[in-house]
Amino acid sequence: MKLSLAMIVRDEAQNLGTCLGSVKDLVDEMIVVDTGSLDKTVEIAISHGATVERFTWTESFAEARNKSLSLCTGDWILVLDADEMLNTEEHQIIKAAILAPNAMGYKIMIRNYLNSGSLFGPGGNAKLNDGVFEPSASYSHYITQKSLRLFRRQDSPLYVGRIHESVEQWFEEHGHSASLLNATIHHFGKINSERDMAKQPVYLDLARREAADYPDDHIAHANVLQEALMLEDWPTVLEAARTYLKLKSSAPALVYLGGAKALISTGKPNEALEFIAPIDNESTADPAVLELKAEALQALGKIQEAIDNCLLSIDAEPNYTASYIRLAKILDDHGDTENARRILEAGLDQNTQDQKLWEFFVGLSAKYKDARVGQDAWHAIQAVPKGGQGIWHMLVAQVLNSQGDVEEATHVLDLGLAAFPGNLEMMEMQKKFAGADRV
């Protein structure tokens, strides 16, 4: 059986080589459709032996995907994005799967790696990363989802959807099933939050247009909600959640959580509690539901109830770190800063690489000019070397400089500039220290 890799890419020079390298010994051909790269993406693809075809972007991911499928000559097709990769140890699982005579396709579990466990998504709450897969070891958590990415080549277009395109609808319409393969696609696209956020306005526009074209398609409205959540466009989130629930009597947790978050953020915490009620089941406590309830209760001034819900959330899932941050905020807002600190320390004991926990922890020290701020920032750097956007490095350097250790302060800034090249504030601080040292 011949296996083709099908990809669509744009400005993926940073990631593409790793992706192609992870499958070069698995696939028989690599098809890369480029939708308008301005960097070295095309050259990198060609250097790895891929067949590259340029494709004018039509504002539809499905159309680009279908173009890539049309160029494949294999019996089976594996679909990956440039910021994804496979574990080479799982190649044999895929090779064996495509030999099954009656199989039409397989879903594969995707691990979307994150820098924090404070998020929830379509796949549920973030899970603590075990770090077994070495390329992912520096990331604290991940969210999972299943996606139909391996299937027999067909002579007709399979993908539908301007955004969050899928082949599942084609499989359903033709009566085909797809079992879950015991393999994993490792996705690193959510790590670079700045790049990810830069795409969101375009993605939201595509999702809105899809929903306008198919107003009775609940999935289209779920896609709008998902993209609007990223941008904190609360009116759009709420409208999408309510529209979804008009079309379907029940919904995934993300619809309820998103709608409730939108109501809290627009000053309607009572309505948020009502909105989330259908999934607020005390017998199966969901940490994201409990944390969101705590936020609503805090807004209503019901502080002890808010604290209780945070504690229940932490007890239900110690690796869902939004609950630690929420509880620390409540305690700090009410003058109990030392216990807020202890809560964050408890979270960090469980989630040592969680960037958002460290940001809040160091931020708390900096807010009150705590004498421990330098120590806290140094511990954060050791746990998350590329976290803090240089702020942690500058805090440590300031403390060291105030103690007269200019050489060590400069060394810390060197570490910071290695992690964040071109950071102007660190460069200016380094010049200042160098000038003071000469005096």
CA Rg value for the chain: 24
Last residue of some domain: 159, 191, 223? 191
Q: Does residue 262 sit within a domain? A: no
Domain CATH for 75: 3.90.550.10
| DSSP per position, 191-204 | T-HHHHHHHHHHHH
CATH of the domain at 425: 1.25.40
Q: Is residue 348 one of the residues assigned to a domain?
A: no
**pLDDT (tens place) for every residue of the chain, 439 residues total:** 999 999 999 999 999 999 999 999 999 999 999 999 999 999 999 999 999 999 999 999 999 999 999 999 999 999 999 999 999 999 999 999 999 999 999 999 999 999 999 988 888 889 999 999 999 999 999 999 999 999 999 999 999 999 999 999 999 999 999 999 999 999 999 887 777 788 899 999 999 999 999 999 999 999 999 999 999 999 999 999 999 999 998 899 999 999 999 999 999 999 999 999 999 976 578 999 999 999 999 999 999 999 999 999 999 999 999 999 999 999 999 999 999 999 999 999 999 999 999 999 999 999 999 999 999 999 999 999 999 999 999 999 999 999 999 999 999 999 999 999 999 999 999 999 887 654 4
* DSSP conformation letters of 216-284: T-HHHHHHHHHHHHHHT-HHHHHHHHHHHHHH-SS--HHHHHHHHHHHHHTT-HHHHHHHHGGG--GGG
Does residue 334 lie in a domain region? no
Does residue 261 belong to any structural domain of this protein? no
The reply to whether 235 falls in a domain is: no
Q: State the residue range of the domain holding 89.
A: 3-191
Hey, what are 378's tokens? 């140094």
Could you tell me the pTM of the whole model? 0.93
Domain count, the chain: 2
Give the C-alpha distances (Å, rounded to integers) separating 394 from 360, 407, 413: 16, 14, 7
Residue 217 lies in a domain: no
Last residue of a domain, one of 162, 191, 220: 191
Bridge partners of 128? 141
Examine residue 226 and state whether it is found in any structural domain, yes or no.
no
Which residues, at least 6 apart from 303, have a Cβ–Cβ distance to it below 8 Å? 297, 330, 334
Residue 427 belongs to a domain: yes
- Give the end of a domain, one of 143, 165, 191: 191
